[in-house]
Copies of this chain bind each other. A is one copy, B any other.
Amino acid sequence: MREQTLAQLETPALLLDEARMDRNIERMQARMRRLGVSFRPHVKTSKCIDVARRIMAAPEGPITVSTLREAEYFAAHGVRDIMYAVGIAPNKLAHVMALQDKGVRLSLVLDNLETARFLAERAEAEGREFEVLIEIDSDGHRSGVPADAKELLAIGRFLQHTGIEVKGVLTHAGSSYDCESPDAIRVVAAQERDAAVHAAQRLRAAGIACPEVSVGSTPTALLAEHLDGVTEVRAGVFVYFDLVMAGLSVCRIEDIALSVLATVIGHQHDKGWTILDAGWMALSRDRGTASQSVDQGYGLVCDLQGRPLEDFILVGANQEHGIMGRRSGKAGGAAPLPIGTQVRILPNHACPTGAQYGQYKVLGRGGEITATWHRFNGW
């Protein structure tokens, strides 16, 4: 396509800063090499083959997905090694089998005997093979069986007995998002690793092969001191980073590759407000920084080079209106931005913000739009 300038875009628009993204990818890949683990990037953040191709080790994957729609889309683009990292439900098995029929090696996740039983019944009824990872609960934040629970071995033995391959164990230290310091993340990373490795050791001691030990979240992947015993890491948000990650000191503000381009449409001078045409629909309702030491409202306002405009954030948002004001709440100080001025807003959380858009406008190194990359949403 012909290059576009930012001024030619209708707003709101989702910008992807290519240089920042490439740097983020290189950082994660270098870390994976140093830790000596394979990398199974989580493509739920981008939902875009153009982005995934820059992250994947090979055109066939491996990747991690959060929905079968992602599996479907990436399979259509040639990816063959896919882990669906959400506990499998009975109503999804027909879809799983359709994906297998397209040549996809799709691994499934479960954390209980009841699920193992319906999977075994279906495998037998349909003459199918499924490969499964058992989810381990390493921090009490969501799903998974504790690494030292009796049920872990019961699940493993049942699967082995019914001919379903136990490909491995996986865990996700979601609590790393709630840490208050890099040291706290390192503790969570060690806990994540230890839980997964311990679970795998128990399964192996019971005669179940369990080749894979899969862990991951962006904070723990970047801060783990070692990953001995782990075979692969999953992470997604690192590709763009966001204000929550910056608040965790996992990245810098200037690493954030995703932003929302918005335009000034009004002012409330007495309140020090500038009204933008990007509200919570454009940024998402995510307020992940609200519980961090610096609350960034609905997003941090930057100039077109991506540099923060003093302490201006979206202090409030309606569906299609953003209210830009000082983080301090004080009015005054800066000269008001004229009507029509464009700004870039860095999001709290890249995943929900990205999900509000059907495309990325790729911002090249010269500050021009060099490409439009499509992304998809939904299930």
- Across the interface, A355 reaches (CB within 8 A) one of B10, B323, B356, namely B356
Docked CA distance A68–B67 (Å): 30
Separation of A369 and B316 alpha carbons in the complex (Å): 38
CB <8 Å contact, B266 and A143: yes
> B351–A377 contact, CB under 8 A?
no
Q: With an 8 A cutoff between CB atoms, is A142 at the interface?
A: yes
CB distance from A16 to the nearest CB of B (A): 15
Q: In the complex, are the beta carbons of B263 and A86 less than 8 A apart?
A: no
A118 sits at the interface (CB 8 A): yes
User: Which of A7, A280, A323, A357 counts the most B-chain CB atoms under 10 A from its CB?
Assistant: A280
Is the beta-carbon distance between A321 and B86 smaller than 8 angstroms? yes
Tally chain A residues at the interface, Cβ within 8 Å: 68
- Partner pick for A267 among B13, B112, B339, B358, CB 8 A cutoff: B112
The 8 Å CB contact of A340, one of B118, B280, B285, B316, is B118
CB pair A10–B275 under 8 Å, yes or no, is no
Q: For residue A348, which residue of chain B has the nearest CB?
A: B285
Q: Which residues of A, 78-104, contact B by the 8 Å Cβ criterion?
A: 86-92, 95
* Chain B residues within an 8 Å CB radius of A91: 7-11, 263, 340, 342
- Please list the residues of chain A having a beta carbon within 8 angstroms of any beta carbon in chain B: 7-13, 44, 66-68, 86-92, 95, 110-112, 114-115, 118, 137, 140-143, 174, 263-268, 271, 275, 277, 280-282, 284-287, 316, 318-321, 323, 338-340, 342, 349, 351-352, 355-359, 377-379
